[in-house]
Amino acid sequence: MRNPSATGFEPPRWEPRPHRAPAAAPGTAPARMRLNDFADRRDLLFDWMLSEVPRGCRMLDVGANDGSYPQARRAAEHAGLLAGVDPDVGKLTLNPWLQERYPSTVEDAALPADSFECVYSVYVAEHVQAPQRFLRAVHRALRPGGAFYFITPNGVHYFAAIAKTLGRLKLQESVLRLLMTREGADSYHYPAVYLLNEPRKIERMAKDLGFASAEFRYSERLEDIAAYFPRGLKSVPWLWQRAAAALGREELLGNLMGKLVKPASGAALRAG
């Protein structure tokens, strides 16, 4: 899911206030529901990650591309070494923040084992075709005690469910071109399969692959979702947000952020 720069949508007159979930224990997700109170959802991931990852550590960007998004610089300035892996060789070559480049998918990259304190991905998980291979490769690259941080569309959100169904019917591109300009669809969309986007499935898979813990956080901004709806249906995401806020159910929001931690002992994978 990509974020068009302008939506032309004015929601009904409901101004969301900061919503409070039950008090969170130290080191867990913030108590405040992250609903329409931020400008860029990627900042939420990097704020979380960089507040926990030691400065000067080795970091790996999965899906590094050309490094043109603003948070890439934040990671580079925090890391002692920033490596990147991406199958698009041309884009990877243009990335100015990387000290090491691996022109491949993470599953097939010749990454050194137990080498990175932090691995992260920004809107990559929804494109992963083989989730277990992907997480196994991440686990192998992490140092004992290291963590994998990611942001992706929440697979239990209605938007991801619709997109996944359209993908199975091979209609994703056609529908996007009906809802958006051709340039918008080309700029903001890549084929997505949504196989690594549901918190419960990710947690179960991570446990089977030897990760010690999994933590999830959620967020949503109305403009990001409403851009994909035609004029007559733009009230749908607003109504969904209002219901999620009234129920205090942050897990109903559209953006999923996760943190998977490799055991400090370097426990071996239990899955083959």
List pLDDT tens digits, range 32-58: 799 999 999 999 999 999 999 999 999
pLDDT score of 115: 97
Phi, psi for 203 (deg, rounded to 5): -60, -45
pLDDT tens digits for 187-228?
Answer: 444 578 899 999 999 999 999 999 999 999 999 999 998 888
DSSP result, 121-162: EES-GGG-S-HHHHHHHHHHHEEEEEEEEEEEE-TTSHHHHH
Q: Which of 24-33, 102-111, 227-236 has the lowest mean pLDDT?
A: 24-33
Bigger pLDDT: 242 vs 166? 242
Architecture of the domain delimited by 19-261: 3-Layer(aba) Sandwich (3.40)
pTM: 0.82
Contact 85, 105 (CB under 8 A): yes
